[in-house]
């Protein structure tokens, strides 16, 4: 696919980010303007490898490898190289409901398993995918697709994140009347409030897609907290809909129950990010302070993942005094370790946009590794003033289990007036499961087998992080698409929808 000798002739080039000095002044997406001609050159690097691993979407070495929705990447690379954008769009939309989302926020497991990546930097698949979608929107390829006929059957999808939207989109195309319920005031779930605007524009990207789905017949109901709403009770949903798909995500954050946790100024990361995005949208980006504001404060972010990075970038845009990021795990290696071979996801050090911005502002990487927080320090009024931290080593105990062991003499205090807990999520909120009467598995997720998605309650299905546990947007889309097939089969006896 692409140009047969392209991988020998061209070096990897990705779409550049705007300079930190520029992008830190606004909430616009961080990427600079793309160059479609250069993207065609990048597509030429796809090397006709014979047995591509980029789209396999399977588990190798206990980790997801390749594209979970099985985008036929060599095919759309070839079409982009030839300048056939409309055909590339048609190829991509057959497997991916929302390439404008994945092209912006997916960590690109496809690139981690790109065959060229064995000896050279991989093909810039993520940029190519995103550009196909953006070109398609600009050229008007995205138009409302209405089902040939309606079945007269009704489906309720609870949760409007990536899995819920994918499930709803597929079921609507199957001809069912689909209503999506969202407890927040805007549709999108994680896409709307969990990911900052500088990574995924809400009005120009998320709301644009929601508007298209509305034009295609999907109904959306906001401010509908199922199980706690008088208007939309569980009993009403069960009575009015032929099937229900629960796609509410894994929204229960991991806490840090140490001394001083009740200090004013300690927040979950999602509290901080959600409040900020809602504020800038409600205020029209007028620059007024967010309800949880980092301006002039020493900020400590506890957790080293994507959510932690988003907290760093948001704090810097608020004008924080300083920001550091604490990680209890060791610093990843610069290159693949021997026990992490291709095509596994490369567990190597990555410096994301938030760290690059912190380096620009503060002169050094904000991340500190192998550090544990022992307590939060507060003043007499209960306000957070600092953290006591300690360096740790990972050692085996008497039972042979690895655990963190404090390093003697390393305890110290660091200033902080805002601490953000970005340590991941523990599954869905259990109250909703109890309201619907669905069982949980040992990890507190909804008990529903992958490939079946059926809960213990007939007619109720579940998909995405709520069933799978905390994962990627692209895996949520995979689950939403697959769940739609099983809902369709339950209603109609068979389904013509495609499994991912």
Q: Is 43:128 a contact under the CB 8 Å cutoff?
A: yes
Each of the 500 residues of the chain gets a pLDDT tens digit; together they read 678 899 999 999 999 999 999 999 999 999 999 999 999 999 999 988 888 999 999 888 777 799 999 999 999 999 999 999 999 999 999 999 999 999 999 999 999 999 999 999 999 999 999 999 999 999 999 999 999 999 999 999 999 999 999 999 999 999 999 999 999 999 999 999 999 999 999 999 999 999 999 999 999 999 999 988 889 999 999 999 999 999 999 999 999 999 999 999 999 999 999 999 999 999 999 999 999 999 999 999 999 899 999 999 999 999 999 999 999 999 999 999 999 999 999 999 999 999 999 999 999 999 999 999 999 999 999 999 999 999 999 999 888 899 999 999 999 999 999 999 999 999 999 999 999 999 999 999 999 999 999 999 999 999 999 999 999 999 999 999 999 999 999 999 999 998 88
Token couple for 13: 């080039």
Euclidean distance between CA atoms 45 and 277, whole angstroms: 38
Domain 266-421 matching CATH 3.50.50.60: the answer reads yes
Cα 390 versus chain centre, distance:
31
Which pTM was predicted? Answer: 0.96
Phi, psi of 470 (to 5 degrees): -50, 125
Q: Is 422:308 a contact under the CB 8 Å cutoff?
A: yes
Burial 161-182 (b: 16+ CB within 10 A, else e): bbbbbbbbbbbbbbbbbbbbbb
Cα 461 versus chain centre, distance:
22
pLDDT score for 1: 61
User: Which residues make beta-bridge pairs with 100?
Assistant: none
Say which CATH topology domain 154-251+426-492 has.
FAD/NAD(P)-binding domain (3.50.50)
Closest alpha carbon to 6 in 89, 97, 82, 71: 82
CB atoms within 10 A of CB 441: 13
CATH 3.50.50.60 intervals, the chain: 154-251+426-492, 266-421
Burial 315-337 (b: 16+ CB within 10 A, else e): bbbbebebbbbbbbeeebeeeee
Backbone φ/ψ region at 275: left (φ over 0), alpha (ψ -120 to 50), beta:
alpha
Euclidean distance between CA atoms 111 and 133, whole angstroms: 18
CB atoms within 10 A of CB 280: 20
Pairing status of strand 384-396 against strand 402-406: antiparallel
Euclidean distance between CA atoms 133 and 400, whole angstroms: 50
Phi, psi of 444 (to 5 degrees): 75, 5
Cα 365 versus chain centre, distance:
23
User: Which single residue is written with the structure tokens 């660091």?
Assistant: 414
Burial 5-23 (b: 16+ CB within 10 A, else e): ebbeebebeebebbebeeb
CATH 1.10.1060.10 intervals, the chain: 6-139
Q: Is 121:453 a contact under the CB 8 Å cutoff?
A: no
Q: HEC profile for the chain?
A: CCCCCHHHHCCCCCCCECCHHHHCCCCCCCECCCCHHHHHHHHCCCCCCCCCCCCCCEEECCEEECCCCCCCHHHHHHHHHCCCHHHHHHHHHCCCCCHHHHHHHCCCHHHHCCHHHHCCCCCCHHHHHHHHHHHHHHHCCCCCCCCCCCCCCEEEEECCCHHHHHHHHHHHHCCCEEEEECCCCCCCCHHHHHCCCCCCCHHHHHHHHHHHHHHCCCEEECCCCCCCCCCCCHHHHHHHCCEEEECCCCCCECCCCCECCCCECEEEHHHHHHHHHHHHHHCCCCCCCCCCCCCCCEEEEECCCHHHHHHHHHHHHHCCCEEEEEECCCCCCCCCCCCCCCCCCCCCCCCCHHHHHHHHHHCCCCEEECEEEEEEEECCCCEEEEEEEEEEEEEECCCCCEEEEECCCCCEEEECCEEEECCCECCCCHHHHHHHCCCECCCCCECCCCCCCECCCCCEEECCHHHHCCCCHHHHHHHHHHHHHHHHHHHHCCCCCCCC
Q: Is 210:394 a contact under the CB 8 Å cutoff?
A: no
CATH class of 6-139: mainly alpha
pLDDT score for 429: 93
């Amino acid at each position: 696919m692409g140009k047969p000798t392209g991988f020998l002739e061209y070096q990897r080039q990705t779409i550049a980010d705007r300079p930190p000095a520029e992008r830190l002044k606004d909430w616009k997406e961080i990427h600079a303007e793309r160059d479609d001609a250069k993207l065609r050159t990048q597509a030429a690097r796809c090397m006709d490898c014979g047995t591509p691993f980029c789209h396999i979407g399977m588990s190798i070495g206990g980790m997801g490898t390749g594209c979970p929705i099985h985008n036929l990447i060599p095919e759309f690379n070839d079409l982009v190289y030839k300048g056939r954008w409309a055909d590339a769009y048609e190829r991509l939309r057959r497997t991916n409901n929302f390439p404008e989302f994945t092209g912006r926020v997916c960590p690109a497991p496809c690139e981690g398993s790109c065959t060229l990546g064995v000896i050279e930097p991989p093909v810039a698949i993520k940029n190519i995918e995103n550009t196909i979608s953006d070109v398609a929107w600009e050229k008007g390829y995205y138009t409302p697709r209405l089902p040939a006929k309606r079945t007269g059957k009704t489906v309720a999808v609870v949760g409007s994140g990536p899995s819920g939207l994918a499930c709803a989109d597929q079921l609507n195309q199957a001809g069912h009347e689909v209503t999506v319920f969202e407890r927040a005031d805007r549709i999108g779930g994680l896409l709307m409030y969990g990911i900052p605007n500088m990574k995924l524009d809400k009005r120009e990207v998320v709301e644009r897609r929601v508007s298209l789905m509305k034009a295609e017949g999907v109904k959306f109901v906001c401010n509908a907290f199922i199980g706690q709403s008088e208007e939309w009770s569980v009993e009403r949903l069960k009575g009015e809909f032929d099937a229900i798909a629960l796609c509410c995500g894994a929204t229960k954050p991991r806490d840090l129950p140490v001394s001083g946790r009740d200090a004013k100024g300690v927040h979950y990361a999602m509290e901080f990010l959600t409040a900020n995005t809602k504020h800038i949208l409600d205020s029209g980006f007028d620059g007024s302070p967010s309800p949880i504001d980092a301006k002039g404060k020493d900020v400590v972010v506890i957790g080293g993942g994507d959510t932690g990075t988003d907290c760093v970038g948001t704090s810097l845009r608020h004008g924080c005094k300083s920001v550091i990021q604490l990680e209890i795990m060791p610093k990843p290696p610069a290159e693949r370790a021997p026990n992490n071979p291709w095509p596994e996801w490369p567990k190597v050090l990555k410096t994301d946009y938030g760290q690059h911005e912190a380096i620009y502002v503060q002169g050094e990487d904000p991340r500190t590794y192998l550090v544990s927080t022992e307590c939060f320090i507060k003043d007499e009024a209960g306000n957070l003033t600092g953290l006591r931290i300690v360096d740790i080593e990972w050692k085996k105990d008497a039972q042979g289990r690895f655990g963190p062991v404090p390093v003697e003499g390393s305890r110290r205090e660091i200033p902080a007036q805002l601490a953000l807990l970005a340590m991941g999520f523990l599954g869905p909120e259990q109250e909703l499961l109890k309201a619907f009467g669905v069982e949980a598995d040992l990890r507190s997720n909804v008990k529903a087998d992958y490939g079946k998605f059926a809960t213990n309650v007939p007619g109720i299905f579940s998909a995405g992080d709520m069933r799978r546990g905390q994962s990627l947007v692209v895996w949520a889309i995979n689950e939403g698409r697959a769940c739609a097939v099983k809902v369709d089969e339950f209603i109609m006896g068979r389904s013509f929808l495609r499994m991912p």
